[in-house]
A and B are shown apart, each in its own frame.
Chain A
């Protein structure tokens, strides 16, 4: 067998030629799988990361010249592992030269299993649970997930979350240090631990998606989140909430292109061009929602997906089955009683019973949601429809002050007419 570093060049057929961009794309796709395997092999995140980075450098040199190896993923993992062993040997020699009697931190490289000891995909699941361990802060969980499973560079993660690269580097370093020092385990939780351990994983994927939605341009975060959700479904096919999360993301994704006008301003649901909704993606989402209903183990992501399914199935905003949406929000409120869910329920009530019925429901939420722009936008819209235009204008202004993005702010400042249903 030719060594993996020969790039499988011994193959008789002509290997495909690739440019640097393609090498980068393939690496990002394979990064999580390789890093996850190497973390298990070496028991150390930094060693695994550096090794895959080394393999990337080798690939950038060789692939455009010699062509793509037959199994790029396998090549990356093997090359990275060999590089890591080289590094550890070098470090060991240096320690010996320095007369340091201490043994290698990660054990001797000779002890490394020669081939993969278990299914590679399970390693990615281990990595997902380690990155999203509840002992880590949510922003650290998301950053680690994007860096280690998504294969984004520190700089890319930093830009996606609008923080300086140095801040993100510090956040990642601190999280990795805690994993190592406190010994956050690298394992898939037992069934009885899942109620505590699965929600942060799902929340991280959902937050990554929303970061992509928040007008953070072509960050690729939406696609990344869907990729992670698909991976979770493949790895834990029995978890209804994971299916619900994937369905939710797909149903939002199918409409993403119509949520923003050419001038960058948001387009509310009522104004979206439904002929441009992605029917194939909606169909996939609806199939998954159906699968969830048959399982009959509802959870917050599944119910949110069901709400999006009702929107996706409606020919027009007016033809939406709003009673069904109110019923689903009632169900969601019972499982996840948050003021934001109550706000969305009130908005739906406004479509069934009219603005007069909804305004009171919305206003009871003021103590909790006074700092939330969507609360003021929803209230403004209801006031407008009740012909209380002076109050509506003031509420739009308040919403604009609180808006999280410039596009949202401009939209609301222009009197942002439109029913603020999501």
Chain B
């Protein structure tokens, strides 16, 4: 079965920080409900939520030296906030899940097909 990433992107200065405790609770209830649906449909593989982009560090090699820079790789206002890895028979099924997720989390969802997924070290087939 094909795998898809449902990636949630957030923008700097999103309303999230100003959410009240009640709003946050309601949001988490919505998200939990979608995750339960994903799980019971056999589509859920795993989910992940990231700390804000300010916590990122980029490591690269330049002139044979390892360099580190503070902050995310892409200079953008929008950053990956979290993602689901799901199984779905085709894109339409993945898009239908994405529609439910975006309604719950309030962020646009980017749907990307995986070219390969590996559960053990080795070539990603």
Contact = CB atoms under 8 A, between A and B. Distances in A.
Contact of A184 (B90, B112, B115): B90
B113 A185 contact: no
A135 B96 CA distance: 12
B115 A135 contact: no
A401 B78 CA distance: 38
Interface in B52-82: none
B34 interface: no
SS class of chain B's interface: helix, strand, loop or mixed? mixed
A182 interface: yes
A183 B95 CA distance: 11
Interface of B: 2, 89-92, 94-95, 111-113, 115
Nearest to A134: B95
The 7 closest A-B pairs by CB, nearest first: A185-B90, A182-B113, A183-B90, A182-B91, A184-B91, A183-B91, A181-B113
Nearest to A180: B113
Contacts of B111: 182
12 contacts: A135-B91, A181-B113, A181-B115, A182-B111, A182-B113, A183-B89, A183-B90, A183-B91, A183-B113, A185-B90, A185-B91, A193-B92
Interface in A183-197: 183-185, 193
Interface of A: 133, 135, 181-185, 193
Query: Which of A181, A182, A193 lies at the interface centre, i.e. has the most chain B CB atoms within 10 A of its CB?
Result: A182
Nearest to A184: B91
A287 B94 CA distance: 42
Nearest to A133: B91
Nearest to A185: B90
Contacts of A135: 91, 95
A184 B89 CA distance: 10
Nearest to A189: B92
A135 B89 CA distance: 16
A183 B87 CA distance: 12
A124 B89 CA distance: 22
Contacts of B91: 133, 135, 182-185
A47 to B, nearest CB: 19
Contacts of A181: 113, 115
A133 B94 CA distance: 14
A185 B115 contact: no
Contacts of A184: 90-92
Nearest to A186: B90
Nearest to A179: B91
B110 to A, nearest CB: 12
